[in-house]
Amino acid sequence: QSVLTQPPSVSAAPGQKVTISCSGSSSNIGNNYVSWYQQLPGTAPKLLIYENNLRPSGIPDRFSGSKSGTSATLGITGLQTGDEADYYCGSWDSSLSTWVFGGGTKLTVL
């Protein structure tokens, strides 16, 4: 049972938009930044979004992040088959003094 809650899977057609939710509490998302990671099959995770909504250099603007209260959302527009991956949210938990990840969401581009 992960501290942060994500849907196990989402799917959409190529070219469409999808959102992935990440729900937490005041001890993590509510009072700390959220980051998002993409893990393509068989590879190490890669940073997609940091500090709620900032993209590292090299990440296309098709990827976006937002936060409201104790929840965060990753948005992906113009879906491509190459976006099929597992996506994880994460945040520091001030009560646990540990970093926490969501359980991960598998994106299928139909």
Partner 1 sequence: QVQLVESGGGVVQPGRSLRLSCAASGFTFSSFGMHWVRQAPGKGLEWVAVIWYDGSNKYYVDSVKGRFTISRDNSKNTLFLQMNSLRAEDTAVYYCARDGRGYSYRANWFDPWGQGTLVTVSS
Nearest approach, Cβ of residue 24 and partner 1 (Å): 14
CB 53 within 8 A of CB 72: no
* 66, 52 contact by CB (below 8 A): yes
- 88 makes contact with partner 1 (CB under 8 A): yes
- Collapse the DSSP code of 83 into the 3-class scheme (helix H, G, I; strand E, B; otherwise coil) and give the result: helix
Q: Does 98 bind partner 1 (CB under 8 A)?
A: yes
Q: Of the listed pieces 15-23, 30-38, 67-75, 76-84, which binds partner 1 according to CB under 8 A?
A: 30-38
Q: Which residues pair with 106 in a beta bridge?
A: 9, 86
By CB under 8 A, residue 47 contacts partner 1: yes
Cα(89)–Cα(11) distance, rounded to whole angstroms?
17
1 lies in the binding site for partner 1 (CB under 8 A): no
If one asks whether residue 102 binds partner 1 (CB under 8 A), the answer comes out as: yes
Helix (H) or strand (E) holding 65: strand 63-68
Question: Residues 14, 15, 56, 69: which binds partner 1 (CB under 8 A)?
Answer: 56
